[in-house]
Structure 1
Amino acid sequence: MVTVEMREEESRDITPPGVQRLWVFLNNEDSAHHAAGYIPTSADDPLAKHIVSRGLLTQVDTPDVFQSALQHIEQCISGHEHCKAAAHTNPLPTRVVDCTNPLKPKLWATDGREGKYIALSYVWGEPQARSTTRDRLEMYQGGIELSALLQMIQDAIRVTHSLGYRFL
């Protein structure tokens, strides 16, 4: 027997309210299996007022996408107890990348100052030729050539700036 049903997802910390999932249940006398997936639609679809999930975006470097990301960040900060601390300024890490000019970012020593920043977490992999060392510290504080950075870091600098944050 095959049963198909659409359920509204119960509110979890990371799932927006009202998100629907499609469940498929396969039952026979020997076993039972099920599968589930989210049901997305586009914003201009007539069903969009009933289906809150949207499909994945393929063009992500647009003002609309950054505005949407800021709205999600605000929803997170205002709606999740453990995220509310992010709404306040916090002590900055020892050094941050100043993304005021994303074409010429600078390493900035924070000297215990407070502020808001975007954190990037990634695996370095192989040793990096341009990693921050004592010898390069002063040079990087004057500005960092984008071409010297991994594409992922360049993207993070651009996103940080586009979201209106100064520090990465």
Structure 2
Amino acid sequence: MAVRHEVENLIRRGNIFYWRPRIPAAFVHCRPGSRLSLSLHCSDHRKAQIIGRRLNTRLAELKMNSKDAMTTKQQLQILFEHERDKELERLDDVSTMAKRNGRGGDVVEMELDLEAGWAYQLLAKFGTRSDLSLEVDCPGLTYLLKNGVPASHVDAIRANYQGELTTARDARANGGIAATASRL
């Protein structure tokens, strides 16, 4: 029996995690109520949560973009397989670098990791279409302070956020739909 795990659309069958979202009605070429089913090729809960969140965010971005609503179920499946593979590769690279260079007990490195993590949280919560300044009256700053982030870390989080936002908006990162459509 499939079990749900804190992240929307993430289930586990046996030792393997799957991502099974319902296809939004905005995709007019997909049958109403149909689902995608994608193996995440991992049994690690944390890794599956990261990939699941990334795929959920990508699905929401596609839903909001009206020209992507013409995508078929097969195109969505290929696109999300590509996204999954990119994220698995990125997580493997992070793991390799951590093993090679990491010092688990170093407080400075842990703070840097936390600052990068909060930048990713802002991207996940507010999306790539929002441009947060993290200045006074910014909802991103309010979110950080409400969650107990010290004000001394806001400048570093802002720098990480701006860098990741630029990467996310990069045409190469968002060219997945065009590449997928051209293969079909």
Give the TM-score band, short-chain normalised: under 0.3
More strand per residue: 1 or 2?
A: 1
TM-score, normalized by length of structure 2?
0.24
More helix per residue: 1 or 2?
A: 2
TM-score, normalized by length of structure 1?
0.26
**Larger-gyration structure (1/2):** 1
